[in-house]
Copies of this chain bind each other. A is one copy, B any other.
Amino acid sequence: MSPVAIAPAPDEQPPVRAPLTRERVLRAATALADTGGIPALTMRNLAQSLGVEAMSLYHHVANKEALLDGVVEMLVAEVEDEIGGFTVESGVADWMPVMRGRVLAARRVMLRHRWAPTLIETRTNMPAALLRYFDSMLGILIEGGFSNDLAHHAMHAMGSRFLGFDQELFKPNAAGSESPNAAMLVDLAAHLPYLAAMLAEVAHDDPDTTLGWCNDQAEFEFMLDILLEGLERRRARLAS
């Protein structure tokens, strides 16, 4: 097709940059978000990082929403890699450890891309890749003995937890996160008696477990296990 076999004449500069492709655009977008977060991911910034004009991007993605959808597809591919494929082994009754392992694998991907949960939440259309992931998670439930009805509830209950993240309300940013000291606690006690008491005790028990510095991984697993156990209890009720 293209004259790729023809050696460039001396006066022809070989193309310094590879031609733009959808894949290159999406990869650069992910890299940009990794370094500067979602705010850094503007069409103009992205173009600059590719050594190109902003308007050139529109030949490979329809618009910014389509770009963000594409980035989510890349993320799901990374989750699939981390899990080792979305295939569902049929007849595996012990669904809980399988699902738990997948959720925590997905979580590792999200921790590599801290901006990803927020991005995923803003999508209004479910990317096809994500549908395939959810289908495989549903498959684990069904093969594990869930009815379609109970599995449906379970899908709702798990929600974003399937992808290894959860709303972390008001996560303190690096700037403002200081562990509470004695003076703060005294001040808190007046208006927030229960929080003050809890922080005083929890912070005392474990220096890494103060308001700004909770163990996110442990807390995520605490909630995950409550959900998984609650689902298993309801599944067992079906069988009896």
Contact = CB atoms under 8 A, between A and B. Distances in A.
- Classify chain A: how many residues form its interface, as a range: 35 or more
A99 interface: no
Given A169-B121, A176-B125, A138 B195 contact: yes
This protein's copies in its complex? 2
A209 B167 contact: no
Given A168-B159, A169-B120, A170-B126, A138 B227 contact: no
B125 A156 contact: no
Contact of A198 (B126, B138, B198): B138
A116 interface: no
Interface stretch (A13-21, A106-114, A146-154): A146-154
Interface string A158-188: 0110000011111111001000000000000
B176 A169 contact: no
Candidate in A138, A225, A230 with the most chain B CB atoms within 10 angstroms: A230
Nearest to A162: B169
21 contacts: A118-B121, A121-B167, A121-B169, A125-B170, A131-B192, A135-B195, A138-B194, A139-B193, A142-B194, A148-B198, A149-B201, A149-B202, A152-B214, A153-B219, A156-B222, A156-B223, A157-B223, A159-B166, A159-B169, A166-B167, A226-B226
